[in-house]
Amino acid sequence: MKNLILISILLVAVWSEVNAQALQNVDALKFKELIGKEDAILLDVRTPGEYSRGHIAGSTSIDISDPAFVSRINLLQKDKTILIYCLSGSRSEVAANYMVKNGFKKIYNLRAPALMEWNQRGFALEQSSQMVASTATKYTGQSFDKLLKDNKVVLVDFHAVWCAPCKAMNPVLDKVSTNFKGKARVEKVDVEANKEIAAAYQVQSVPGFLIFKDGKKVWSHNGTISYDELTLALKKFL
């Protein structure tokens, strides 16, 4: 019995240490510094209304109160640094602890008073219309197969409308589409509008990229990627 108690204490101690390594609570000054230095995903877990009234530039919006929160969070890259915030620091801390328990490796949470301190220090926020529902094509298995069959080489961008890194890739994809016109098809596929297609090709995170040649998957990449890297990959299959 004593051994079991000792083992339990040790396990709690180990988990606490792992949690401390994976999650750090930082003030607004440190958080702003990290935005400039870290190759990270900036995550806002407030409501769409709060987000539209003012958010940190470049942030991905995933509302912690949304029933889709868990599925959306798990589409983020778990090996990327996450910078997470809300208004007071309470919602973001709950979200951060969930993410640590589900395999995210490094998270910095903007601690209380969180965005209120950010505002007090005069740091910038931007306003925007909250993202609207995706108008992307909804594929069936048959229609997606036809797309692959009708085009010898297809680059597919699996993305989501709430994903800031996905939006950041749009200029790169536009350039690829223009420069490879007549050689390769570039197709954007919204993972939430096309869950069956995303599941069929085991898309684990957004943005995610697949190249198909003659209807068969020949290349994949998770996360953002440079124009040069993307074009180098495409050229191998032309």
Predicted model pTM: 0.86
Domains and CATH numbers, the chain: 2-120 (3.40.250.10), 141-235 (3.40.30.10)
The residues with which 97 forms a beta bridge, in sequence order, are none
Residue 9 has pLDDT above 60, yes or no: no
pLDDT > 50? residue 14: no
Catalytic member of 163, 191, 230, 234: 163
Per residue in 55-80, pLDDT tens? 999 999 999 999 999 999 999 999 99
Where would I find the H helices in 38-169?
A: 48-53, 69-73, 90-101, 115-120, 141-150, 164-168
Distance CA 32, CA 124 (A): 10
Q: For residue 169, which of 178, 179, 158 has the smallest C-alpha distance?
A: 158
> Pick the residue with more confidence: 129 or 91?
91
Q: How confident is the model at residue 8 (pLDDT cuts 50, 70, 90)?
A: very low
Catalytic-labelled residue, pool 110, 147, 155, 166: 166
pLDDT value of position 38? 85
Distance separating alpha carbons of residues 64 and 86, to the nearest angstrom: 10
Whether the per-residue pLDDT at 108 is higher than 60: the answer is yes
109: tokens are 């949470």
Question: Concatenated DSSP letters for 156-173?
Answer: EEEE-TT-HHHHHTHHHH
Give the mean model confidence (pLDDT) for residues 84-88: 97
What is the per-residue pLDDT across 144-196, written as a single tens digit (0 to 9) for each? 999 999 999 999 999 999 999 999 999 999 999 999 999 999 999 999 999 99
Q: Alpha-carbon distance 53 to 46, whole Å? A: 11
Instruction: In whole angstroms, give the CA distance from residue 202 to residue 30.
Output: 36
What average pLDDT does the structure give for the chain? 90
**Catalytic (active site) residue 86:** no
